[in-house]
Amino acid sequence: MTGAEVAELVLRYRRGETVRGLAQSLGMARTTVAKHLATAGVVMRVEVQDSEHTRMIELYQQGYSLNHIGRETGRDPKTVKSVLLTTGLLSAGLRS
């Protein structure tokens, strides 16, 4: 991609388009789009599906740690923490 194309990609992502949507519209793999965005210094949003969100909540309510939930769902424990913070189940100051 040219510099101008990457700049457009970054702009579209920052306006709310998903990596998946960008990849489809550009005919690229999601990993390629993500790589271009990361190289441009973009902080990626976490895209968690509703079913994953529900599963994380269930596991947390059953007493599992963020590390365990991350392994179970294939997500980074920081992503799990972020999801749980948005639900109010986890306080920002707590380490779990």
In the DSSP assignment, the letter for residue 45 is P
Residue with tokens 């909540």: 57
The pLDDT assigned to 5 comes to 95
Claim to verify: residue 31 and residue 57 sit in the same structural domain: no
54 and 83 within one domain: yes
**Domain assignment of residue 64, given as a range:** 50-87
Count of domains forming the chain: 2
Is residue 77 situated within a structural domain? yes
Lookup: tokens for 6: 């990457």
In-domain check, residue 94: no
- Compute the distance between CA of residue 24 and CA of residue 8 in angstroms, rounded to an integer: 15
Are 35 and 54 in a shared domain? no
What tens-digit pLDDT sequence spans the chain (96 residues)? 999 999 999 999 998 888 888 999 999 998 999 999 999 999 887 678 888 899 999 999 999 999 999 999 888 888 899 889 988 888 766 554
Q: Give CA–CA dist 96/87, Å, rounded.
A: 15
Structural domain includes residue 44: no
Report yes or no on 93 lying in a domain.
no
Task: Judge whether 95 lies within some domain.
Answer: no
